[in-house]
A and B are shown apart, each in its own frame.
Chain A
Amino acid sequence: MSRIPRIVYLDNAATSFPKPRAVLDEMMDTYSRLGVSPGRGSYDLAAECEKYVYEVRRRVNDFFRGDRPERVVFFHNSTDALNTAILGLASPGSHVVSSRLEHNSVLRPLHHLRDRGLISFDLVPFDGRGFIDPDDVARAIKPATSFVVLNHVSNVLGTIQPVSDVGRMCAEREVPFILDVSQSAGVVPIDMRTMQVSAVAFTGHKSLMGPTGIGGLVLRDGVDPKPLRFGGTGFESWSPVHPENYPYRLEAGTLNVLGIIGLNAGLRYVTQRGLGAIHEHEMSLLHALRDRLTSLDAVLLYCAENLHNHVALLTCNIRDLDPDDFSAILDGDFNVATRSGLHCAPLVHEDLGTSPRGSVRFSFGPLNSLDDASAAANAVAAIAGLRSQ
């Protein structure tokens, strides 16, 4: 098998890679000692594993400033969590407000419900800089609106949305507000109480630096999605009815204990390093890349003129070069890994005018260096330079 060269990995918005050594070591060590079925059975180790899982719920709850650890519910990832929230909170006749910035993890559940005649929805637009207007959200809310669901940070543009204003408007109208924090958790502080967010859907494998396969919902008191799955919970096995109490109400089957350990380790990693410090580091890399690319005539940058309220991802194209080929050249000739295409957010590309082929996204993580940004910039400059000859 041929040796894989060291790559400059700039696809952290898809999943952070590599994971910190401390996260991987903690996963191996803790799972080796504690990896049994949490809360199932009467032996001590099962009880210890359940206690450990509860401690992680507490850590997640503290991280997002939720109401109580029991209302941290584990799922596979954000998509899984968003499906539960959207399908569980919608009812026949519901109206939903969302935006054209959303990922398919929101758009497809909404379309699924609308195509079956169950709900209607409105999607608010974003402006030329990549931001929604909270007033548009307020205007879209109707008496029948069951909830508002938005992403905190666009996975295509990297723009941090004004969700505190949206949260205030939703609270004034007593409409639950679901926030998709896939791209923000671990790099932007999230306080559900001050931001007046009813539920956050998170994933562990992006900026929270954990493994794939673990994510969840944090639900404020009074926000109660209908369960979509039923099964074993480790107690009340005599009952044919799935329990109503949290977190079991929405969790069925044995939990991903290895993923929960990794999530815990990732949370510790980002908390110890500091979200502000991580964001500042990543943004310094983004600025370096953006500034170099801005000087290249053949490069088209999207919503990157002002990087205030941004996370460290950049979307661009080279004139007359297919984004898939652009990304393939970066990979094959320069060992720079990026993500091309529509990024599972087709409406963003429709509005950018980049449909159907999309663009190339560069996204930094805490383990990237200035050398990585320079390598990417040099690669793009070489490609752009050759094409303009």
Chain B
Amino acid sequence: MPTGEQVKARGYFTRTLEGRDVLFDDEGFLVNPEDWTEELAEALARSSGIAELTELHWRVLRFMRNYYVQNGRAPLNREIRTETGESIMEIERVFPGGIRGGARRLAGLPNPKSC
């Protein structure tokens, strides 16, 4: 479970999750995507209000994560839809924070920093 936060420069902060210090950016995205583990995702999910990740949550998170590791970027919208078999709208609904601030963040992908 998360413990006290340590605020750093540029809005970055560390939280102790699953027994280790993890660095986040000002919007709660992992600064170092390689820090991600499934246990970390569960901890982040709990702190965002998901008591237990469902099969759909895991299907989305594992697809996004694996895609990112293999391709070095986030999947396209239509790839998420096709590969998870679920609509973007439904995925947005089941993740508090939606696609960007929910699914993507819990999957440990970098902050897209859209302009």
Interface on A for B, CB 8 Å cutoff? 2, 5, 321-322, 324-325, 328-329, 331-333, 340-342, 344, 382-383, 386
Tell me the count of chain B residues lying within 8 A, CB to CB, of chain A.
20
What is the interface of chain B, defined by CB distance below 8 A to chain A? 76-82, 87-89, 92-93, 97-101, 112, 114-115
Do B99 and A325 have beta carbons less than 8 Å apart?
yes
A332 adjacent to B98 (CB under 8 Å): no
Q: How far is the CB of B103 from chain A (nearest CB, A)?
A: 10
Besides A328-B99, A332-B88, 18 new A-B residue pairs in contact (Cβ under 8 A), listed by A number: A2-B79, A321-B98, A324-B98, A324-B114, A325-B88, A325-B99, A325-B100, A328-B88, A329-B87, A329-B88, A329-B99, A331-B77, A331-B78, A331-B88, A332-B87, A341-B114, A383-B89, A386-B89
Residues of A within 8 A of B100 (CB): 322, 324-325, 328
16 pairs across A/B with beta carbons < 8 Å? A2-B78, A321-B98, A322-B97, A322-B99, A324-B98, A324-B114, A325-B88, A325-B99, A328-B77, A328-B92, A328-B99, A329-B89, A332-B77, A333-B87, A333-B89, A342-B115
What's the A-B contact tally at a CB cutoff of 8 Å? 54
- List the B side residues contacting A332 at CB < 8 Å: 76-78, 80-81, 87-88
| Nearest A-chain residue to B101, judged by Cβ | A322
Return the 8 tightest CB-CB contacts between A and B, nearest first.
A332-B77, A332-B88, A325-B98, A341-B114, A329-B88, A331-B77, A325-B99, A324-B100
Complex Cα spacing A383 to B79, Å: 20
Query: Would B88 and A341 count as touching, CB distance under 8 A?
Result: no
Q: Shortest Cβ distance from B98 into chain A, in angstroms?
A: 4
Residues of the A chain whose Cβ atoms lie less than 8 Å from the Cβ of B93: 386
Other-chain residue from B76, B89, B99, B115 in contact with A341 (beta carbon distance below 8 A): B115
- The closest CB in chain A to the CB of B75 belongs to A332
Chain B residue at minimum C-beta to C-beta distance from A104: B115
Contact of A2 (CB < 8 Å), options: B82, B87, B92 = B82
- Find chain A residues with CB under 8 A from B101 CB: 322
Q: Which chain A positions have C-beta within 8 A of B92?
A: 321, 325, 328-329
- Give the residues in chain A near B82, CB-CB below 8 Å: 2
- For A386, list chain B residues within 8 Å (CB): 89, 93
User: What is the CA–CA distance of A340 and B98 in the complex, to the nearest angstrom?
Assistant: 15
Least Cβ–Cβ distance between B56 and chain A, in angstroms:
16
Cα–Cα, bound, A332→B79 (Å): 8
Q: For A329, what are the chain B residues with a Cβ–Cβ distance below 8 Å? A: 87-89, 92, 99
Min Cβ gap A379→B in Å is: 10
Taking CB as reference atom, which chain A residue is nearest B93? A386
